[in-house]
Amino acid sequence: MEIWIVRHADPDYEHDSITEKGVREAELLADRLVKQDFDAAYCSPMGRAQKTASYTLAKLGMTAQTKKWLREFSGTVNDPERTNCWDRKPDYWTRIDDYYDSEKWLSVDLMKNGDVEHHYREVCDGVDELLAEHGYVKNGRIYDAVEPNGKKIVLFCHFGVESVILSRIFSISPMIMWHNFVALPTSVTRLATQEREKGKAIFTCIQYGDLGHLYAGGEKPSFQARWCEQFTDDTRHW
């Protein structure tokens, strides 16, 4: 089985849609994905994801099932400087070992003082239910291959929630995915099952954050979700 995870195109956050550049990105993405035979499609309820998906779905002649838990991850903390739980400065979070643990990260004081665990469990439950519907049941850090198959599904969503999805599937802390990885707009991440023992499977990442369709179409990737490479850069710092 393969899972394709696609981030929305260059966003217009004010109107929860995509920019003119985002439209070009979404069209190039559609040209890429139309070559695939997807068995099912799922989408965030948010406008920027729905708009991005619409170009691909129209070309495929498919509809997507909207899943509430695929919306951008909305866990918040009580921090006067920044309430978003998944944008933390490196000198803070890297000093706390528990942030690297798949369960203990939720027990850090900052994470406990908000609603992070509620939203994290909501996404985890959604991922587990979806994969169970497609024949793979979460069992600790692996999956019981109840109905092994070669299906291919696609999820249209957001970087924050994509990181949570991957953390659940791989049994790792999302803090690592949020801060050490970045999936730029319309990037494609692909997972495939690996069943080396009968009935026991894991998912392996065979492609992460791929933007080949943009490069092929001469479209420069968006900077959204990136931060400054150097402190003196005139780009995002916080």
* Residue 50 located in a structural domain: yes
**What's the average model confidence in pLDDT over 53-72?**
98
* Residue 224 located in a structural domain: no
* Residue 235 located in a structural domain: no
Name the one residue in this structure whose structure tokens are 């000198």: 91
**What's the average model confidence in pLDDT over 20-29?**
98
> Does the pLDDT at position 236 exceed 80?
no
The structural domain count of the chain equals: 1
**Rg for the chain, CA atoms, rounded:** 18
Name the one residue in this structure whose structure tokens are 């690297």: 100
Contact 133, 149 (CB under 8 A): no
> Does the pLDDT at position 237 exceed 80?
no
The two structure tokens encoding residue 67? 């899943």
* Residue 122 located in a structural domain: yes
CATH code of 105's domain: 3.40.50.1240
This prediction has a pTM of: 0.96
Q: CB count, 10 Å around CB of 223?
A: 13
- 167-202 per-position pLDDT tens digit: 999 999 999 999 999 999 999 999 999 999 999 999
Contact 3, 39 (CB under 8 A): no
DSSP state of 187: -
Residues 6+ apart with CB under 8 A from 113: 77, 78
Q: What's at 9, amino acid-wise?
A: A
Contact 65, 43 (CB under 8 A): yes
Name the one residue in this structure whose structure tokens are 């939720």: 106
Distance CA 55, CA 185 (A): 14
Nearest residue to 33 via CA among 49, 54, 56, 50: 56
> Does the pLDDT at position 107 exceed 90?
yes
* Residue 94 located in a structural domain: yes
DSSP state of 108: S
Nearest residue to 36 via CA among 3, 68, 9, 73: 3
**What's the average model confidence in pLDDT over 156-175?**
98
- 49-62 per-position pLDDT tens digit: 999 999 999 999 99
* Residue 113 located in a structural domain: yes
pLDDT for the residue 81: 84
- Name the strands in the sheet holding 152-157, side by side, starting at the edge strand that comes first in the sequence: 65-66, 40-43, 152-157, 2-7, 188-197, 200-210, 142-145, 136-139
Query: With 0-12 CB in 10 A as exposed, 13-18 as middle and 19+ as buried, what is 84?
Result: middle
Domain ranges, residue 192: 2-216
Helices first, then strands: H and E counts in the chain:
8, 10
* Residue 227 located in a structural domain: no
pLDDT for the residue 238: 62
* Residue 232 located in a structural domain: no
Segment among 48-52, 53-57, 81-85, 208-212 with least mean pLDDT: 81-85
